[in-house]
Amino acid sequence: MAKQKNNTGKSDATSATVGYEAQLWQMADALRGSMDAAEYKHVVLGLIFLKYISDAFAEQHAKLVAEKTSGADPEDPDEYRALSIFWVPPEARWSHLRAQAKQATIGRLVDDAIAANLKELGYGG
């Protein structure tokens, strides 16, 4: 049976959109360098975790800033925990890491951010 074509005239097997996916792949490949794949997955998963919790935190933080006149405190961890959102310490927030991305110490900063988040969760000292 012949493969159906979509409205662009391309077969389904070749109609993937190329855009940010290609750019993400290039960045991931540059990050990987000569690192072993088994080690690389831990780095990438850690970054994805940091980005995910930081995005959820930032969204709630913006809401709390807007509600500050009503008594909301955007820097109170309980404001986030009450909604099952991770409290992210200032030094572990994605915006902070992004601002430091060009520094030679970015690896240490990411490690420290992960450690700070684990500490908030009760892991580590």
Segment 5-50, tens digit of pLDDT: 444 444 444 445 556 677 777 777 777 777 777 777 777 888 888 9
85-102 pLDDT per residue, tens: 999 999 999 999 999 989
Question: What pLDDT is recorded for position 30?
Answer: 76
- pTM for the whole thing? 0.68
- Is the residue at 52 inside a domain? yes
- Is the residue at 103 inside a domain? yes
- Is the residue at 111 inside a domain? yes
- Is the residue at 61 inside a domain? yes
- Is the residue at 17 inside a domain? no
Question: What pLDDT is recorded for position 19?
Answer: 66
Q: How many domains does the chain have?
A: 1
Residues of 19-41 as b/e, b for ≥16 C-beta within 10 angstroms?
eeeeeeeeeeeeeeeeeeeeeee
- Is the residue at 6 inside a domain? no
In this structure, what DSSP letter does residue 11 have?
B
CATH of the domain at 55: 1.20.1260.30
Using CA atoms, how far apart are residues 26 and 14, in angstroms rounded to an integer?
20
Structural domain including 39 reads 35-120
